Amino acid sequence: MEYIFCAFCKHGRKAYTKKRMSFVDYIYVSILSLLLMFILFQDLHPAFFFIFFALVFVMELFISFRRRVSIQCQVCGFDPVLYKKDPELAEEKIKTVLGEKKESLDYLLKSKNPFENLER
């Protein structure tokens, strides 16, 4: 978890920004693989490598998916990953989210106003 600021509405929030597995994650995965191997085969078994790589694959997917979801701004809907790929689509998404917020007016009851730091 890291404290980041939205590039569009400038509101701060905590988000998962880790992109890849760390060295410590690899140690955890190998310990878990060893445990699973001993539970399943009661001995050393080459299936360890299969379990290890399957767990690494799942962990990497989980970490990148978690980052992708958490890096989007909850206040204004700005998505930096989408902005890098397709700025027009990102702009469209912000307009949709801000339009919905303007209509529903529930941002008035929340601590973070998406229109607070935007230019008129």
CB of 61 vs Zn ion, minimal distance in Å? 26
Question: Which of the ranges 9-17, 27-35, 56-64, 100-108 carries the binding residues for Zn ion, by CB under 5 A?
Answer: 9-17
C-alpha closest to that of 82 among 92, 99, 4 = 92
Q: Which of 51, 52, 55, 78 binds Zn ion (CB under 5 A)?
A: 78
3-state SS class at 5: strand
Q: Which two tokens stand for residue 39?
A: 């539970």
Position among 15, 51, 76, 98 found at the interface with Zn ion (CB under 5 A): 76
Q: Is the dihedral of CA 49, 52, 58, 64 positive or negative?
A: negative
Q: Is 73 in the site for Zn ion (CB under 5 A)?
A: yes
Q: Are 27 and 56 in contact (CB under 8 A)?
A: no
Measured between alpha carbons, how far is 22 from 81 in angstroms, rounded to an integer? 21
Q: Which of 75, 90, 94, 97 is the binder for Zn ion (CB under 5 A)?
A: 75
Determine, following the binding rule CB under 5 A, whether residue 9 of this chain makes contact with Zn ion: yes
94 sits near Zn ion (criterion: CB under 5 A): no
Residues that bind Zn ion (CB under 5 A): 6, 8-9, 73, 75-76, 78
